[in-house]
Amino acid sequence: MLVEERRQRVLDLVKTRGFVAMEDLAGAIGVSDSTIRRDLEALQHTGSLKKTHGGAVYVGNGTSLPALEERYAAQLEEKRQIARAAVARIQDGDTVLLDGGTTTLEVARLLVGRAVQIVTNSLPIAALFASRHEADLVLLGGYIYPRTGVALGPWTVQMMERIHVQQAILSVGGITDKGLFNSNLLLVETERQMMRCADEVVVVADHTKIGRPALAFLCDLATIDTLVVDSALAHAQRALLDQTDVRVIYAEG
């Protein structure tokens, strides 16, 4: 196999999965760890991926997560409506797991000053609570995905194996009749563990996500308990949600 062909295969594997351990890459391609290490160094110089301790994460175009600031302003008022509806269901003393989405960031802002326990993999969310005395904060560690401030991957998943929360509040990249999707396989693997931690899985998504798929399949609609969405839905979008058994909360302005 030519060097460029091999490196393209490495890049394709990392691009598809979001994160791949070095030994898995070596096994999949049939070369030594040292060869994979050199390939990762070369690909890192191109800006397509980033070497991590024990593997590589994809940071090029396509499956990479958009930066937080790039997503924050989109449908901001709808996200705030959704956040208000989601927070209304949280009681003082609850333990809530928040993932690193922009809508969950709005949920977190409304929880500042509340007597709750926050578990999160998001540095921006953690920063809201780090100096507050009312809330207890658990920050999940792991590889910090470039530009997003979100910890993802096997270390993050391992940290959650002994955690139990009342609610896991998650964001998604798209919802169709086939289920829920997000933009990166590394992200959905982390979110699946979040779902296993929770008594109730709550998804917060603005209307632009309904009827739109994304790259990586997360779960069937029936796997979640509650969906909080704003009310600016087209007829076809509302019809899609009406066909599910999921509890749907329509946030009003």
Query: Residue 62 has what pLDDT?
Result: 45
| pLDDT grade for 248, boundaries at 50, 70 and 90 | very high
The stretch 185-197 carries a mean pLDDT of 92
Looking at every residue in the chain, the average pLDDT score rounds to: 89
The stretch 36-43 carries a mean pLDDT of 89
- Cβ(135)–Cβ(118) below 8 Å: yes
Interval 208-237: pLDDT, tens: 999 998 888 999 999 999 999 999 999 999
Hey, what are 186's tokens?
Answer: 């590394």
| pLDDT grade for 58, boundaries at 50, 70 and 90 | confident
Name the least confident of 74-78, 174-178, 238-242: 74-78
Alpha-carbon dihedral sign for residues 158, 159, 164, 167: negative
Q: How far apart are CA 176 and CA 160, in angstroms?
A: 28
The yes-or-no verdict on residue 60 having pLDDT over 80 is no
Q: What is the 3-state secondary structure (H, E, C) of the chain?
A: CCHHHHHHHHHHHHHHHCEEEHHHHHHHHCCCHHHHHHHHHHHHHHCCEEEECCEEEECCCCCCCCCHHHHHCCCHHHHHHHHHHHHCCCCCCCEEEECCCHHHHHHHHHHCCCCCEEEECEHHHHHHHCCCCCCEEEECCCEEECCCCEEECHHHHHHHHHCCEEEEEEECCEEECCEEEECCHHHHHHHHHHHHHEEEEEEECCHHHECCCCCEEEECHHHCCEEEEECCCCHHHHHHHHCCCCEEEEECC
Sequence-separated (6 or more) residues with CB below 8 Å from residue 114: 90, 92, 134, 135
Query: Residue 63 has what pLDDT?
Result: 46
Q: What percent of the chain has pLDDT over 90?
A: 62
Query: Residue 42 has what pLDDT?
Result: 86
Q: Which domains does the chain have, with CATH numbers?
A: 3-58 (1.10.10.10), 68-251 (3.40.50.1360)
The yes-or-no verdict on residue 15 having pLDDT over 90 is no
Q: How far apart are CA 220 and CA 119, in angstroms?
A: 24
The yes-or-no verdict on residue 16 having pLDDT over 90 is no
